[in-house]
Amino acid sequence: DIQMTQSPSSLSASVGDRVTITCRASQSISTYLNWYQLKPGKAPKVLIYAASSLQSGVPSRFSGSESGTEFTLTISSLQPEDFATYYCQQSYSTPYTFGQGTKLEI
Amino acid sequence: QVQLVQSGAEVKKPGASVKVSCKASGYTFTGYYMSWVRQAPGQGLEWMGWINPKSGGTLYAQKFQGRVTMTRDTSISTVYMELSRMTSHDTAVYYCARGVVVTTNWFDPWGQGTLVTVSS
């Protein structure tokens, strides 16, 4: 199985901050990497697919990048609604696997 | 709009089975695979497997082989996930998620989740 190592596990930040979350795959996954946002009591939501493509309707302050087996989610200027938990996920091969999650707190 | 609506919360005793439904609307039901993903309390996301609604074919994560069964009813655009011989470790929120395939693949949208509690 492909292991996804996500860091940090938690992050304290303020409105307006720029934050970066990193995910490393245990082997090459090309650009088969997606980012999701989870909020309590709500359906998870895809933010970025194919490593760097912004899902329709997602604010442009979210961006994704890739360098080899390392992937990054960046939020350029945090807004109050961005405080949530974020997960990366590889869709290169089954079983699809997720990172451990990053809880973004105020 | 594309929407997945899941059945309500369940409480089960150890050793029992649960069957969760996921009703799709707003798109061609047979055109997209459906995956099931769960999240135990305080834990991360775990993919359980997928079903091809067109053929009924399935692929299960090895961890759940022999305990999970995914089925579908095309007449009502609904997929089901049944998990048997449950223990307390199966207490989790279970999500269905549509698989979108273009050059790569991702999950969009997700259902609202179904809390399954296993307790004696």
* Per-residue model confidence as pLDDT tens for chain A (106 residues): 999 999 999 999 999 999 999 999 999 999 999 999 999 989 999 999 999 999 999 999 999 999 999 999 999 999 999 999 999 999 999 999 999 999 999 8
pLDDT, averaged across chain B: 97
pLDDT score, position A25: 98
Of B118, B113, B117, which is closest to residue B94 (Cα–Cα)?
B113
Q: Is the pLDDT of residue B66 over 90?
A: yes
Give the closest-approach CA distance of A85 to chain B in angstroms.
10
Nearest CA in chain B to A51: B104
**Whose CA is closest to A95, among B50, B81, B113, B44?**
B50
Interface residues of chain A, partner chain B, Cβ below 8 Å: 30-32, 34, 36, 38, 42-46, 49-50, 55, 87, 89, 91, 94-101
By Cβ distance, the residue of A31, A42, A98 closest to B45 is: A98
Q: Which of B70, B104, B110 to mutate to test the interface with A (most CBs of A within 10 A)?
A: B104
Res. B102: pLDDT tops 90: no
pLDDT at B103: 81
| Integer Cα distance of B113 and B22 in angstroms | 9
Most B CBs within 10 A among A35, A91, A100, hence the mutation to make, goes to A91
Listed in order, strand segments (DSSP E) in A26-84 are 33-38, 45-49, 53-54, 62-67, 70-75
3-state helix, strand, coil in chain B (%, to 5): 10, 55, 35
The helix/strand/coil state of B115 is strand
Residue B109's pLDDT is 97
Q: Do B45 and A87 touch (CB under 8 A)?
A: yes
Contact B95, A44 (CB under 8 A): yes
pLDDT confidence of residue B117: 98
Tell me if A95 and B62 make a contact (CB, 8 A cut-off). Answer: yes
pLDDT band for position B104 (cuts 50, 70, 90): confident
Q: Which of A50, A96, A101 sits opposite B103 (nearest CB)?
A: A50
Query: Among residues 21-80 of chain B, which lie with CB inside 8 Å of chain A?
Result: 35, 39, 44-47, 59, 61-63
- A vs B, Cβ pairs < 8 A, gives 64
